[in-house]
Structure 1
Amino acid sequence: MKKILVLLLSLLILPAHSQQKESHAMKSFMSIFSQTGTIPYGNNPSTGHYANVGDAKIYYEIYGKGKPLVILHGGIAGSTYEMRELIDNFSKYFQVIAISTRGHGKSGIGTKPHTYEQKAKDVVTVLNQVTKDSVTVFGFSDGGYTGYYLASMFPERVKQMVIMGAAETHPGDYKINLKVADMMQLDKPYWEQQLKLMPEPNRLQEMFDKVSDATAKMHISNDFFATIKCPVLVMAGNHDQFLNTQRVVNASKMIPNAELAIIPNTTHAAFLENFPAVWVVTSSFLKLPANNVQQSKKLNKMNNTIEQILMHHLIAFGDNNLDEILKDYTEQSVIMTPSGAIKGLTNIRKFFEDFFEAIPTGSSFTMKQKTIEGNVAYIVWASKSNIADIPMGTDTFVFDGDKIQYHTVADFRF
């Protein structure tokens, strides 16, 4: 299969019972880091800052105006960039403080254990540098556990929280045995990009080990949750592969002032799979203006639909699966090529059959850029096989509903 960098899911950690099964489920969130028209969250010099927490410098970015809201991303393979759609929307109503947690992105690893108590202290140091107000928190997975500890240890600094993918946990529930070489093999482009951001890239394995040690000892249950007094929305996908639904329900019952939301047909990173649903629930909990919520919902629903169709197309392309590829077209679809227009499913099939002769199964395929605006998507890619070297190719897709109406193709090859 071509190395299409489009699937996969940001992980906090791998539960002991599913580590091997889910080890392939990574996501190259940063593989489209430099795409045109997007903000490089997590590496934006125009709004980036550092807070000195003693043993490390913690990197954060600020967007928007208003009351402060802290965004905490997932761990291990997580990044501020994965939270981009949330930052885009929250920044319309809040001053968003997007923190790269220690060992992630441009934040230092430090010398202290990576406990959630320490991560909560890191967040408070950042807050003391930015605002005196209490804050709203949106925390995902690893960031969700950090949010819990922040509210427990520093209740005066937290006004309300939305927590996704973090729930009741006992020692031994999570075990990690990650090796840099294995992670590079799973998703080399992502880790190459992360290593460029990291101030001490040679310590990546140490970061994995620190997280492994902290999560293996984590105990969050009734006594702990009872210390969280602020309103909390506990949220998870109903097919979260790292948390069964009962543990999420338990957390919502143990927190004195909690509400519960289960997002249907989604897994761990539900906000990436069904952002409109997550945003509507979050907006309702935070009491954001309903009219703007509906407008945002419609816009994001369109973008989400186009994203899903494009991902289906790229995955099918990566598998050289002509039958699946053709599901994205109709008899009226047209592919524009340097040799002329190709119309109809029979001709489109022939086009891809010829194309796969130059890029057979097993070829490398790297996504360099992806941009979606309305019903138009644009990608830039590169591929290499023993038959052809294509340092750059571009495709533009125009969608009509759930089908590709027009598709332009161009590449430069040796």
Structure 2
Amino acid sequence: MSGFNHQSGDWVAVGDARLYVEQAGDPHGQPLLLLHGGLGSLVDFNPILERLPSNLRLIGMDLRGHGASTLGTAPLTYRRYQDDVLAVLDHLGIARCATLGFSDGGIVGYRIAAQAPERVQALITVGAQWTLVPDSPVAGMLAGLTPQLWEEMFPGSRAVYEALNPAPDFDALVQAVVGLWTDAGPDGYPGLAVAEIAAPTLIVRGDADPLLSLEEAVALQTQIAGAHLFNVPFAGHEVHVDAPDLLMPAVQQFLRQPGKRVLEA
């Protein structure tokens, strides 16, 4: 299976933003939506695409402002991402799909599964928080991020973004994303609304993830009826990059029969 390449896709207009969407796999297969993390893009899933079942229709999109998607003028919130995703699915004529979301993409997945349950067939999240305590160390870490710090952690990421984006403004994007990460209001993290999620759910966490603690992941599992929790050793926040050999067999098994545990409950 060839990976995403930012060449074979198209844009979907949502408000004054243009969202880049690309597809791979079987065009007639069951759809699996892939949602990347903050300051990333759809190509971040390339390390695992060939390990996904070949009969799936894979849909990748760059979140608003990321990759080849423009930022637009609407405030950047998880609710805005949620509305963007649903608009893209409507444009593609997809009423219901499975979703695999990393970090911010997983947070969007929680929101959609809780608030538009008819749209989510199954949900997999990787390193995705569900709540934010404003005075926690994680909140302080997120609030303190600057474009310079990001470039130090991920050298060359700014140049890649500026080469892809039709209207690049990395400083504005980082500022908008930090605002999104630190938003404790109703348009932010789903919080206790995750208890409304009825879709089969697999929660994945790397054992060394500094953003999603084991305690938070366990608490999340107790909130979602029938949810599975996979705490992956030898991995940090990016489990799909750090430990794909451990992650993907579990993902494959879950996708083959995602509803079994819920149906038996």
User: Contact conserved, 2:76 with 2:176, CA < 8 A, in 1?
Assistant: yes
User: Contact conserved, 1:68 with 1:131, CA < 8 A, in 2?
Assistant: no
Counterpart position of 1:259: 228
TM-score calculated relative to the size of structure 1:
0.56
User: Contact conserved, 1:64 with 1:93, CA < 8 A, in 2?
Assistant: yes
User: Contact conserved, 2:68 with 2:164, CA < 8 A, in 1?
Assistant: yes
Q: Percent identity?
A: 28
1:77-106: CA deviation from partner (whole Å, max 9, x where unpaired): x22122102222336121000111111110
Task: Work out which of the residue numbers 27, 33, 36 in structure 2 matches 1:73.
Answer: 36
Alignment partner of 1:95 is 2:57: yes
Counterpart position of 1:274: 243
Deviation of 1:221 (Å) = 6.4
Which has the higher Rg, Structure 1 or Structure 2?
A: 1
1:212-267: CA deviation from partner (whole Å, max 9, x where unpaired): 11221246466311121111101101111212101011111111231111111211
Counterpart position of 1:178: 145
The verdict on how the C-alpha distance between 1:244 and 1:171 changes in structure 2, with shifts beyond 3 A counting, is: closer
Deviation of 1:188 (Å) = 4.2
User: Contact conserved, 1:68 with 1:97, CA < 8 A, in 2?
Assistant: yes
TM-score calculated relative to the size of structure 2:
0.86
User: Contact conserved, 1:69 with 1:138, CA < 8 A, in 2?
Assistant: yes
Aligned to 1:97, what secondary structure does the other structure show? strand
Structure of greater relative contact order (alpha carbons < 8 Å, 6+ residues apart) = 2
Counterpart position of 1:230: 199
Aligned to 2:202, what secondary structure does the other structure show? strand
Greater fraction strand: 1
Aligned to 2:143, what secondary structure does the other structure show? coil
Question: Equivalents in 1 of 2:16, 2:115: separation in Å?
Answer: 20
**Alignment RMSD:** 2.0
Alignment partner of 1:191 is 2:153: no
User: Contact conserved, 2:17 with 2:70, CA < 8 A, in 1?
Assistant: yes
Structure 2 portions without partners, runs of 5+: 258-265
Alignment partner of 1:206 is 2:179: no
Aligned to 1:226, what secondary structure does the other structure show? helix
The verdict on how the C-alpha distance between 1:214 and 1:171 changes in structure 2, with shifts beyond 3 A counting, is: farther
Question: Equivalents in 2 of 1:149, 1:177: separation in Å?
Answer: 25
Question: Equivalents in 1 of 2:213, 2:149: separation in Å?
Answer: 27
Deviation of 1:64 (Å) = 1.4
User: Contact conserved, 2:3 with 2:49, CA < 8 A, in 1?
Assistant: no
Aligned to 1:105, what secondary structure does the other structure show? coil
User: Contact conserved, 1:171 with 1:216, CA < 8 A, in 2?
Assistant: no
Give the count of matched residue pairs: 247
Question: Equivalents in 2 of 1:95, 1:282: separation in Å?
Answer: 16
Structure 1 residues 14-413: aligned runs within 5 Å: 39=2, 41-43=4-6, 45-46=7-8, 48-65=9-26, 66-76=29-39, 78-90=40-52, 92-172=54-134, 173=136, 174=139, 175-201=142-168, 203-218=169-184, 220=189, 223-287=192-256
